[in-house]
Amino acid sequence: MSHSTKLSIAIVMMVVWACGFSTEKRRPKQIEDTQQQRAVKKVSEADIINKTTKLGDSITQIAASVFMGKTSEKFSEDGYKGAAEYCSMNAYPLTDSLAKEYKVFLKRVSSKYRNPNNAPSDLERQVLDAYEYSVEQDDEIGSNVQFIRPGDTILYNKPIRIPSELCLNCHGSPSQISDEIKTILKEEYPQDLATGYKVGDLRGMWSLKFLKKEIVQGL
Ligand code: HEC
């Protein structure tokens, strides 16, 4: 530290003292530490879950509407090839931009998946099973947030139901899928499980992974 910097610091400290700010007694370090811990604890798990739910709900809402819009636009323009590109997360710039903006890992999973990359993990399967059970019981289903332990990741899920007949062109019963699409599906997804759906059916779920520290920072 240069002399002039030391001098400036000394002057600032004198001024502070002269104004009476330094007369407050310093708290013992131990007490300060406990207070800091309290400050950290004030961000409760409930706060984190609420914040994650809000973020997840808005991200998936945006993603779903862009998805739906692009798929129907492409389907009417280019038929299967164009739309299939948009029903895949890989050819999907939105995934990257959302990932960057919210540092979130975004995908869709289904127990009847078309692409094996969209098969659920064990934890995701538990959530999907719970959704499927609730649908059988005619119960409402909504987003679900849980901490992935151990670690600093939070899992957000939200059900995806078939919103319209558009989806049935590629996910409906054999009579609803054209021969052209059937042929391509057989070639590209030989183990396809994602057919036989009706409007309103549970097609799968959004699965987002957030970093806990990012959520806490935003609180
Ligand atoms: C033009 C055909 C086509 C249409 C229309 C279509 N999809 Fe898909 N869908 C696909 C293809 C192809 C995949 C596999 C994408 C991949 O490789 O990741 C897929 C995958 C999915 C997945 C991921 C799980 C899985 O099975 O791999 C979900 C969820 C999904 N579609 C939902 C929908 C919904 C909801 C609609 C209606 C809004 C819809 N799709 C319309 C072709 C289509």
Cα end-to-end span (Å), the chain: 37
Task: Provide the pLDDT for residue 41.
Answer: 53
Residue 110's closest CA among 184, 212, 189? 189
Is residue 205 classed as helix, strand or coil in its secondary structure? strand
Residue nearest to atom 42 of ligand 1 (CA): 84
Task: Provide the pLDDT for residue 90.
Answer: 62
Ligand 1 atom closest to residue 72's alpha carbon, by position in its atom list: 5
Q: Which residues line ligand 1 (CB under 6 A)?
A: 68, 71, 75, 80, 83-84, 87-89, 108, 110, 113-115, 118, 160, 162-163, 166-167, 169-171, 194, 203-204
Residue nearest to atom 16 of ligand 1 (CA): 88
Ligand 1 atom closest to residue 74's alpha carbon, by position in its atom list: 1
Per-residue pLDDT of the chain (219 residues; tens, 9 = 90+): 444 444 344 333 333 333 333 334 444 455 455 555 545 557 888 999 999 999 999 889 888 888 787 788 887 887 777 777 777 776 567 777 777 887 888 899 999 999 999 999 999 999 999 999 999 999 999 999 999 987 799 999 999 999 999 999 999 999 999 998 999 999 999 999 999 999 999 999 999 999 999 898 888
Residue 79's closest CA among 169, 143, 150, 152? 169
Euclidean distance between CA atoms 151 and 153, whole angstroms: 6
Task: Provide the pLDDT for residue 32.
Answer: 53
DSSP string, 49-93: HHHHHHHHHHHHHHHHHHHHHHHHHHHHHHHHHHHHHHTSSTT-H
Q: In a mutational test of the pocket of ligand 1, which residue from 86, 87, 131 has the highest number of ligand atoms less than 8 Å from its CB?
A: 87
